[in-house]
Amino acid sequence: MRIRIIIGFVLIGIFSCSKKEKFDVDTSKINAKVTIKRFEQAFYKASPSELPKIKKEYRYLFPHDIDSIWIKKMQDKDEQELFAATQTVYPNLDVVRKKLKALFKHIKYYYPKFKEPKIVTINSNVDIEQKVVYADTLLFISLDAYLGMDSKIYQDYPTYIKQNLTKEHLIVDVADELSKAILFRSNDRRFIAKIIQEGKKMYALDAFLPKETDANKIGYTNEQLAWVKENEAMIWKYFLEKKMLYETSKGLDKRFIMYAPFSKFYLDIDSESPGRVGVWIGWQIVRSYMKHNDIKLSELMRLDNEEIFKKSKYRPKK
């Protein structure tokens, strides 16, 4: 197993180089504006008397006008502690701003009409279901959801969740959220269609974040990435033998698509596997399709998933 993992790391290096070359596009002449407003600083540093001014500036974040609730929130000990932790990790957003600018430039390379949203940073009491929210002209980033897996704030969280609550994963979640806006919806409930739909999003991340590692894009450790690469053929064979491709059961989503500590093959290898192996397979199918078909990213996002599967020539090496 140790030798296989080492081989996996070597393959990761070779594979990553080829992907970087393909998506190494020139964005130097593309202008991208990054506007960031730090609501969490304005709110948690303010006194109650300043609340009306804050509400006026950030009207979209105040669904009701009961000031007593907001003042209580502003002065809450736990929320102030969370705010302090956020400020320790993010005293400024220079690195985040740089990454956002690069991301916006790459999106505009493929989608010239893309309009950069205004960024608003917030604290959401670590709402891991909505770490990043894109709402037309605004994009909200919950900084308290990216404090690092060793943060004491996350000490009771399971490892598979904590490993993606990092500064490095912030830009991936932003890109993922923006990619949803360009991806045509699919009503196909079959398993193969679902994993290819996820694969399209992952391929968009390839294009938008060419310098990010595959591990970071899918939310794996390097060891987990090595495992899925080493066992890709086995995973695909399992899907075929169990006749899962055209199944419509939502149970398959939980087993192979949704975030989880491991994938559920109901075999001894479960404890070794990472979650979301279906997403990994869907990603490789889309990559294989794009290798054999010369189309634009924007066209790929509109394509029928069944067509992608049939023309992908996907054959994982044993």
Residues 175 and 193 in one domain: no
User: What are the φ and ψ backbone dihedral angles of 244, each rounded to 5 degrees?
Assistant: -90, -20
Q: Is the pLDDT of residue 259 over 50?
A: yes
What local confidence, expressed as pLDDT, does residue 7 receive? 43
For the full predicted model, state whether its pTM sits above 0.95.
no
Mind listing the pLDDT tens digit for each residue in 69-90? Answer: 999 999 999 999 999 999 999 9
Residue type for position 13: G
In a domain, 318, yes or no: no
Q: Is residue 229 in a domain?
A: yes
**Together in a domain, 149 and 238:** no
**167 and 242 together in one domain:** no
Tell how far CA 310 is from the center of its chain: 27
Residue 82 lies in a domain: yes
The pLDDT of residue 171 is 98
Residue 220 lies in a domain: yes
Looking at residue 3, what is its pLDDT? 45
Transcribe 91-128 into DSSP letters. Answer: S--HHHHHHHHHHHHHHHHH-TT--PPEEEEE--SS-T
pLDDT score at 5 = 43
> Based on the domain organization, do 133 and 198 belong to the same domain?
no
199 and 76, same structural domain? no
124, 145 in Cβ contact below 8 A? yes
Q: Residue 32, CB half-sphere, CA atoms under 13 Å: how many?
A: 23
Tally of structural domains, the chain: 2
Is there a single domain that holds both residue 200 and residue 110?
A: no
With a cut of 70, say whether residue 136 has pLDDT above it: yes
Say if residue 238's pLDDT is above 60.
yes
Is the domain of 225 the same as that of 284? Answer: yes
Residue 282 located in a structural domain? yes
Model pLDDT for residues 273-296, shown as the tens digit of each residue: 999 999 999 999 999 999 999 999
CA distance 271 to 107: 37
Asked if residue 199 and residue 163 are part of one domain, the reply reads: no
Given this model, what pLDDT does residue 21 score?
Answer: 66
Query: What is the pLDDT of the chain when averaged over all its residues?
Result: 93
Residue 280 in any domain: the answer is yes
- Among residues 179, 208, 227, which one ends one of the domains? 179
The per-residue DSSP string of 192-236 comes to HHHHHHHHHHHHHHHHH-TTS-HHHHHT--HHHHHHHHHTHHHHH
Q: Work out whether strand 118-122 and strand 132-135 pair parallel, antiparallel, or are unpaired.
A: unpaired
- Helices 67-75 and 77-89: crossing angle in degrees, nearest 10, is 60
Domain stops at, among 147, 179, 211: 179
62: left (phi over 0), alpha (psi -120 to 50) or beta: beta
The last residue of a domain, from among 124, 151, 179: 179
For residue 264, pLDDT over 50 is answered with yes
Range of the domain at 255: 2-24+184-311
Evaluate whether residue 155 is within a structural domain. Answer: yes
Q: Is residue 317 part of a domain?
A: no
Residues 115, 226, single domain; the answer is no
For residues 316 and 231, the answer to whether their CB atoms sit within 8 Å is no
Backbone angles phi, psi at 272, to 5 degrees: -90, -25
